[in-house]
């Protein structure tokens, strides 16, 4: 999957969810996914720092 296909798939998923969830549900889901993304970035950064740091 290339970058354009990926962004199109994400947009389609967001539109699908937006049609089926209330504003409150969308807000909660957005907050949860933001926290998930932040945590994944933190884990990846920690792994990079751990694996590339001099002993």
Residue boundaries of the structural domains of the chain: 22-55
pLDDT in tens, 19-51: 999 999 999 999 999 999 999 999 999 999 998
Residue 26: Cβ within 10 Å count: 14
Residue range 9-24, pLDDT digits in tens: 999 999 999 999 999 9
Beta strands in the chain (DSSP E): none
């Amino acid at each position: 999957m290339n970058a354009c296909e990926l962004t199109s798939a994400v947009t389609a998923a967001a539109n699908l969810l937006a049609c089926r969830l209330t504003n409150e549900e969308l807000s909660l889901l957005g907050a949860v996914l933001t926290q998930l993304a932040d945590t994944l970035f933190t884990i990846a950064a920690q792994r990079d720092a751990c694996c590339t740091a001099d002993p």
